[in-house]
Every structure is written in C-alpha cells, then in structure tokens.
Amino acid sequence: MPVFLFDDLIFGPVKSRRLGVSLGINLLPTHSKLCSFNCVYCECGWTKNRSSLKIKLPNRDDFKLLLVEKLKALKGTPLEPDSITFAGNGEPTLHPHFAEIINDTIELRNAFAPKAKISVLSNGSMLNKQSVFEALHKVDNNILKLDGGTEEVIRNINMPLKAFRLSEYIDQLKRFDGNLIIQSLFLRGTNNNKIIDNTTDFEIGAWLEKLQLIRPKSVMVYAIERDTPAANLVKISEEELEAIAQKVTAMGIDASVFA
Ligand code: SF4
C-alpha cells in the first residue's frame, strides 16, 4: 500500500476537509512514523518498533524560526491559514517539548495570524502527562480520538502499544470539562483474523454512552479516506455516517460528517 508521510516540519497550507486552509505542523520525524498507537487505518502505515528507528525530533528553536518565517510569508495572502494544525507522522504529543511548542505557537499566531485557530489532532495517549493536558486545554481545537465505545473494539482498531483502559481514558477526557472535540472513524473489516466493526447497534450505543459522559463541544464522524495498512477494511457510506451523526445531535451535541 502507498504510505503517506510528511517530509517537512511545516507543510502546506492545504485545504483540509475539516479545518479549512490548514498549515500543518509535523513534530515527528520526517520520512518515518512515530506513534503510541498502531491504527488499522493509519495513512502513515504500520507503526514500527521504536528501537528500529533512528529518531530525531525537531528542535523547539528551529520550529519557532520556521513558523515565524512561514506565517510572515502567508500574511495577507489567500493562503493565510484558518488553522495551524498539529498532526503529521504520528502522535504530536509524544514530542518532549510539546507544551512549550504550543506556547510558542500561541504567541506567534497572535502576532502574525490572529484569525487562525490552533488545532491538535491527538490520540490522547499522553493525557496523563499534566503539561500535555494543560497544553491541549489551551488550544482552540483540541481534537481527540474515540473510535469505539468498548475497550475490545478500540484495542482492535487502534492497537495501543501500551496498556490501555477505556474507563481511564474517558476519565481523562472528562477533565477537559467539554473543551474538546471528539473524532471518530467508522469502519468494518478484518485484521489478524479478527472481525472489526464499530458500527453495530451495540457498539454505537456504547460509544454514545461515552459521549454522554464526556459532553464534547462537537464530534467529527468520518470514514477512511486513503489507502490503509490493513487490507480488508470497508469504507462506510456517507448515509450511514449521517445516521450515526444524527444520534449524536439528538443528544444535544454538535456532530459533523466527513465522508
Ligand atoms: S493515532 Fe493517528 S498516527 Fe497514530 S497510528 Fe493511529 S491514525 Fe496513525
């Protein structure tokens, strides 16, 4: 399968389905993926064992200089970003200076791109680190993953590399007191001879129960967009995603579909 990896620290801007004109930030290695999950649908391919990687993460000062340069160049042009988006080749909160980098980004956004929102797409695996939690609380779009309502389905879809307890994760998400956006990708298929399906009535019911506990600002419901590392996955139709989103809005929580 073709693997989609970012080869720069700052990339774009690109037109994002979810965030408008988005200037991407990749705090992870270029040309290789670093993540605490191994999602069956990951556009960056399977997660490799860290010991087999030569990991060099970007330096905070280099990042700051590059971001100033980029924001100055985009200011007043049609590509002035709607969003400065931390995503890239894996999990951005794994960067040891993630919190300081967010502070730098807020300062530079205020100076050079005041209309841009700061967005972070995270799998939430570092929420037990207080500085990461506080940094995510500060950004405009704190977008966290919840791909199912039961531990088994999440384990099969996201394959966390370390111990994962859904109840603990939900408790962490509740600490944001509603200051978060949930992103949930729906799919069906098989991997490692296991059936994966987060669209059954039972699973959707369990997922809605978790959303009721978390009460996020909104929920992004989406489907596979590019090639996936697991071969036998099915893209869910827009109609089905709409039906799922309607169940969320019926609970008084905003939901958007990205098919
Ligand atoms: S959390 Fe994101 S980067 Fe990590 S494996 Fe999953 S989709 Fe890929």
The more confidently predicted of residues 57 and 99 is 99
Does pLDDT of 57 surpass 80?
Answer: yes
For the segment 197-233, what is each residue's pLDDT rounded down to a tens digit? Answer: 999 999 999 999 999 999 999 999 999 998 999 999 9
For the segment 140-150, what is each residue's pLDDT rounded down to a tens digit? Answer: 999 999 999 99
What distance in Å separates the CA atoms of residue 34 and residue 158, rounded to the nearest whole number?
Answer: 14
pLDDT number for residue 32: 86
Residue 23 burial (10 A CB sphere; 0-12, 13-18, 19+) = buried
For the segment 239-250, what is each residue's pLDDT rounded down to a tens digit? Answer: 999 999 999 999
Q: From ligand 1's centre to the CA of 188, what distance in Å?
A: 17
Report the pLDDT averaged over residues 57-73: 94
Please give the helix or strand (H or E) that residue 110 lies within, else none: helix 98-112
* The pair of three-digit structure tokens given for residue 19, joined into one six-digit string: 């965030």
Does pLDDT of 52 surpass 70?
Answer: no
Q: Give how far Cα 57 sits from Cα of 9, 29, 234, 248, Å.
A: 9, 5, 34, 38
Residue of 47, 86, 122 to test ligand 1 pocket, by largest number of atoms within 8 Å of CB: 47
Instruction: Write out the E strands in 29-167.
Output: 83-86, 117-122, 141-145
Instruction: Write out the E strands in the chain.
Output: 10-16, 20-25, 83-86, 117-122, 141-145, 181-185, 187-191, 194-197, 218-222, 232-235, 254-258
Report the pLDDT averaged over residues 110-118: 97
Q: Is 37 in the pocket of ligand 1 (CB under 6 A)?
A: yes
pLDDT number for residue 222: 96
Q: From ligand 1's centre to the CA of 90, what distance in Å?
A: 5
Report the pLDDT averaged over residues 170-184: 98
Residue of 1, 40, 42, 233 to test ligand 1 pocket, by largest number of atoms within 8 Å of CB: 42
| Domain ranges, ordered by start, for the chain | 10-258
pLDDT confidence bin for 191, thresholds 50/70/90 = very high
Average pLDDT value for the chain: 94
pLDDT confidence bin for 1, thresholds 50/70/90 = low
Report the pLDDT averaged over residues 89-112: 97
pLDDT number for residue 161: 95
Report the pLDDT averaged over residues 95-118: 97
CATH superfamily of 10-258: Aldolase class I (3.20.20.70)
Please give the helix or strand (H or E) that residue 167 lies within, else none: helix 166-174
Does pLDDT of 6 surpass 80?
Answer: no
Report the pLDDT averaged over residues 54-77: 92
What distance in Å separates the CA atoms of residue 124 and residue 117, rounded to the nearest whole number?
Answer: 20
What distance in Å separates the CA atoms of residue 151 and residue 129, rounded to the nearest whole number?
Answer: 22
